Amino acid sequence: MTPQDTDRRWLTVGLGIFLGVLSMNATAIDPGTVKGKFTYKGKDYILQHVYAWQPPAQAEELWVYVTDAGLPAAAAQGRSKSVELAAENRFHGAKLFVHPTKPDLNSLNLMLYAPRDLPLFGSASRSSPVWQHLRVGDKRVVGKLKYEESDWSLDVEFSAPVFGSSGKMQTLTGAQAQKSPQAEVFLAYEKALYWQGIDAASAYMTPERLAGMQGVLKQFGADWFKQMLTERRKSTPQGEARRKQIAKLVLEGDSAVLEARSGPDVEEVRLAKTKDGWKIAE
C-alpha cells in the first residue's frame, strides 16, 4: 500500500461520508471474544473489544471492529463518528470489511485507527490466503488474521455476534431504482450540496447525517470541503444523466442503500425513512 493509495482511498471515503450512545444487551447472546494486538510504528495496542455490524440494506459488507478501548454501538454503526473518535485518540485498532455471505480468505480490506490525523487504509488480494480463518454464519463472525506491512501489523483472533441487518432485503434495478423516491432524494441532495453547500443540503439529511458531516468538516477544514465540492462538480453529471447512473436500490424496512455507477467507480449512499420522508443517512 503506497501513500498515494492511502490518500486516494481516504478521499473516496471522505466523499462517502458527505454522501451518505445506542446500547445493546449483548451479554445475553455472548458479547464476543478477541485477543491480539495492533502495532503501529513500533508501539503495541492490545485488542480487548470486538463489535460486528452489518448495515441494514447492505448485502455485501460486514464491519468488524477490533479495538483497544470500547467503541459505542452508535459510533460503530455509522461511517463518520468512529473517525471522529479515533482522531481524538479515544481508541486504536482496526475496522475489517468482510463479505457477510461469501468471506474471502485471499482478500483483506480494512481501516486502521492509528495515532495520526487520518485513518489509514489497507488492502491485499492474493492467490494464497491472507486470513488464517474467516467464517460468517448464524449471525456470527469468527476470524483469525496475522498480517504485516512496513509500519504496522495486525495479529488478531475474534468471535463476535453480528448485529444489524435482518437479511430480508428487496432489490430494485434499472428504471425501478431510478424513478424511486430514494433516487429523487439522492439527486436533490447532490444538487443542493455541490452547488449550494451544507445548509441547502441539510433538508435532505437526517439530523445524525448532518451532525456527522459538520463534525468531519470541522475536523478536516473548509479547504478540504471546497476541494471536494470542486472535484465533484467536475466529475458528477446532473439531472437525467446522473439518474441513469443509478444502478441499484436495496430496501430493508426503513433503510435503503442506493448504488450509482460511473464507469468502474461505484458509490453507495445510505438512506433512512423518517416522519418527513426518506433522507440521506449516516
Domain check: are 26 and 89 in the same one? yes
pLDDT at 144 over 90: yes
What cell numbers appear for 120 in the block? 489509514
- Rounded to the nearest integer, the mean pLDDT of the chain is 87
The number of domains in the chain is 2
Of 16-20, 152-156, 179-183, the poorest mean pLDDT is in 16-20
> Any residues with CB less than 8 A from the CB of 73 and at least 6 apart, and which?
21, 22, 23, 24, 51, 53, 163
How does DSSP assign 218-270, residue by residue?
HHH-HHHHHHHHHHHHHH---HHHHHTTEEEEEEETTEEEEEEEETTEEEEEE
pLDDT at 44 over 90: yes
pLDDT at 33 over 60: yes
* Domain's final residue, options 144, 164, 184: 164
Domain check: are 158 and 235 in the same one? no
Domain check: are 22 and 121 in the same one? yes
Q: For 101-108, what is the mean pLDDT?
A: 95
* Domain's final residue, options 121, 143, 164: 164
Give the Cα separation of 67 and 124 in Å (integer).
21
* Domain's final residue, options 96, 131, 164: 164
pTM: 0.73
pLDDT at 20: 44
Count of beta carbons in the 10 Å neighbourhood of residue 210: 19
What proportion of the chain, given as a percentage, has pLDDT over 70?
Answer: 88
Q: For 173-177, what is the mean pLDDT?
A: 96
Q: For 26-46, what is the mean pLDDT?
A: 83
Domain check: are 138 and 194 in the same one? no
Domain check: are 14 and 43 in the same one? yes
CA 54 to chain centroid = 10
What proportion of the chain, given as a percentage, has pLDDT over 90?
Answer: 61
* pLDDT tens string 210-263: 988 888 788 778 898 889 899 989 989 989 999 999 999 999 999 999 999 987
* pLDDT confidence bin for 4, thresholds 50/70/90: very low
pLDDT at 215: 80
Domain check: are 129 and 144 in the same one? yes
Domain check: are 128 and 213 in the same one? no
Domain check: are 137 and 233 in the same one? no
- Of the candidates 113, 124, 107, the one whose C-alpha atom is nearest the C-alpha of residue 90 is 113
pLDDT at 158: 98
Instruction: Using alpha carbons only, give the angle 135, 137, 140 rounded to the nearest 5 degrees.
Output: 85
* pLDDT confidence bin for 117, thresholds 50/70/90: low
Range of the domain at 25: 3-164
Domain check: are 63 and 194 in the same one? no
* pLDDT confidence bin for 8, thresholds 50/70/90: very low
pLDDT at 7 over 70: no
Domain check: are 111 and 58 in the same one? yes
Domain check: are 223 and 103 in the same one? no
Domain check: are 27 and 66 in the same one? yes
